[in-house]
Structure 1
Amino acid sequence: MKTLDTEHDLEKAIPFLLARAGARMGNAFAKALKPFGISLSEWRVCASLRHSPNQALSELAAHIATDLSALSRIVDRLVVLGLVVREKCDTDGRSVRIALSPAGQALAREIVPLAQHYEAVALSDFSAAEVKVLRSMLLRLYRNATPLA
């Protein structure tokens, strides 16, 4: 009786390796965010809104790869903290756009150098060319995984 598929090596499985690397980086950065009073998930929303302002909730959910119900709770908390605002869409009165408030913009500007530092540490023994290839491959991997979603 065969109990284990010996062809599958967890230590070489890309989803496992990505999740493990992401968890290590995310957990470390989450600790660094504590003094700012926001969680890693809240930071991801702020960073996404800094990159692409005035997103609909569905756009934001797709961009940060989270489900709408969890994102709605995160946005609610960020609104209470005064870091984001909900604005009615000019063209569609039913649609709401999410944007950073001035306080959210200031906080994001303050955190970005810290985020860049954490990324630099994680990439410290990669060459510039390797970083470029890694980014390209991760973007391609994400696009390729679209049918799996």
Structure 2
Amino acid sequence: MNDSSIEVDHNLEKAIPYLVTRAGARMGNAFSKALKPYGLSLSEWRVCASLGYKPRQTLSELVLHASVDMSALSRIVDRLVQQGLVRRAKSEHDGRAISLSLTPEGASLTREIAPLAKHYERVALTQFTWEEIDILRRLLVQLYDNAEPLE
């Protein structure tokens, strides 16, 4: 029996992880191109957007919201600090921890890009009703939470 005759009972085209990744990759790749004129990568944007939504996060908090691993996040934050978009300060809650926030320049850039991000989301959701969008959001959050034991 050669490898080409092995039957696999798994249809990739219907697999939820594949479909979620494929949709996310298409949206992410398109938005990444739109971010180039701003000098930001998609991961850098996620950090800025997360800090714009919830300032004064530690790296541990930010790693959950920015969807990148800790080592990559540290490098991303270093770049954003060098660009003058993010600042580090001692945490108000834990003197050993470092708190991250947007600088005024970072906050301004984030506010400038946010409508573009919303536009890309709106385009991707064009054929959905408001009810379907709410359901999709809830299901994606539930899918993320359900996947925690897989880590």
1:87 matches 2:89: yes
What amino acid does structure 2 have at the position aligned with 1:35? Answer: P
Displacement of 1:53 after TM fit? 0.8
The equivalent position to 1:129 in structure 2, one of 112, 128, 131, is 131
RMSD after superposition: 1.0
What amino acid does structure 1 have at the position aligned with 2:67? Answer: A
Please give the secondary structure, in 2, of the residue aligned with 1:42: helix
CA distance in 2, matches of 1:8, 1:41: 31
Please give the secondary structure, in 2, of the residue aligned with 1:75: helix
The aligned residue for residue 3 of structure 1 is 6
Alignment of 1:1-149 (within 5 A): 1=1, 3-5=6-8, 7-149=9-151
Please give the secondary structure, in 2, of the residue aligned with 1:54: coil
Alignment identity in percent? 61
Q: 2:12·2:18 contact (CA, 8 Å) conserved in 1?
A: yes
What amino acid does structure 1 have at the position aligned with 2:92? Answer: D
Which segments of 5 or more consecutive residues in structure 2 lack a partner in the other structure? none
Deviations along 1:23-73, whole A, 9 cap, x unmatched?
A: 000000000000101110000000111111110001101122211110000
> TM-score, normalized by length of structure 1?
0.96
Q: Give the length in aligned residue pairs.
A: 148
CA distance in 1, matches of 2:82, 2:150: 35
Displacement of 1:90 after TM fit? 3.0
CA distance in 2, matches of 1:77, 1:137: 34
Please give the secondary structure, in 1, of the residue aligned with 2:96: coil
